[in-house]
Amino acid sequence: MARQFFVGGNFKMNGTVSSIKEIVQNLNNAQLDPNTEVVVAPPALYLQLVRESLRKEVGVAAQNVYDKPNGAFTGEISVSQLKDSNIHWAILGHSERRTILAETDDIVASKTKYATENGVSVIWCCGESLEQREAGKTLEVIAAQLAALKKQVGDWSKIVIAYEPIWAIGTGKVASTEQAQEVHASIRDWLKKEVNDKVADETRILYGGSVSEKNCKELSKQKDIDGFLVGGASLKPAFVDIINSKL
């Protein structure tokens, strides 16, 4: 089946009320490809501001969510709180949370299970470090991350996978089109072998890692690249060009 192209914008820990209003206004006024699903992830403090002011067809994601319904978990956000605020997406497993905040494959899988089972869709991130790539372990690392997810998740329909080579995030280095397509194809192959054909065919696999308006068109033509998870470029007007890369 044809997979709907998907572009996510991860603002990370960037933005002010004024700059985020400007980003929202730019998206509200832009002509966006109606065939592309778009989701933006502002910092938690601005989730409601964005959801209340952004055109309704653009989704909004939290940059994290916890795997318990409520309770004494200082600084965390629950799935029910997101839904109560009309937020229906979360980004989980981003390399910055895996590396800086020491989130393990199992923690990421547990959060993904809880979110998807309770009505929040997940952009689930995976990727390898420069050392792992240079050691030829890229596919092994990603297979281990996927295996941890498979152990806990039964329903893949609310999961979008984002492949983000850690060495290409915010560095200006981009995996070559061939490198990106090779990893995306191997992820799809893993899904086919380890889950089933339907999940492999239907799951969207995004590329993330210094995506810009300059390289998005070529990347978007690849058979197994179903969109992008964009970092820094999502804060700029050029984000619209990335959303429209299939036009």
SS3 per residue for 152-219: HCCCCCCEEEEECCHHHCCCCCCCCHHHHHHHHHHHHHHHHHHCCHHHHHHCCEEECCCCCCCCHHHH
pLDDT tens, position by position, 71-128: 999 999 999 999 999 999 999 999 999 999 999 999 999 999 999 999 999 999 999 9
Whole-angstrom Cα distance, residue 247 to residue 238?
Answer: 15
Query: 94, 96, 128, 184: which one is catalytic?
Result: 94
Whole-angstrom Cα distance, residue 228 to residue 247?
Answer: 15
Element (H, E) at 61: strand 59-62
88 is known as an active-site residue: no
Which residues touch 28 (CB under 8 Å, ≥6 apart)?
Answer: 53, 54, 55
Statement: the pTM of the whole predicted model exceeds 0.85: yes
pLDDT tens, position by position, 228-243: 999 999 999 999 999 9
Q: Confidence band (pLDDT; 50, 70, 90) for 1?
A: low
Q: Confidence band (pLDDT; 50, 70, 90) for 14?
A: very high
Whole-angstrom Cα distance, residue 57 to residue 78?
Answer: 23
Instruction: Report the chain's terminal Cα–Cα distance, integer Å.
Output: 20
Q: Confidence band (pLDDT; 50, 70, 90) for 225?
A: very high
- 80-89, 161-170, 182-191, 220-229, range with the lowest pLDDT: 161-170
Whole-angstrom Cα distance, residue 44 to residue 64?
Answer: 9
CB neighbourhood size of 23 (10 A): 23
- Set out the domains of the chain in order of their start, with CATH numbers: 5-243 (3.20.20.70)
Q: Is the pLDDT of residue 148 over 90?
A: yes
164 is known as an active-site residue: yes
Query: 37, 96, 164, 184: which one is catalytic?
Result: 164
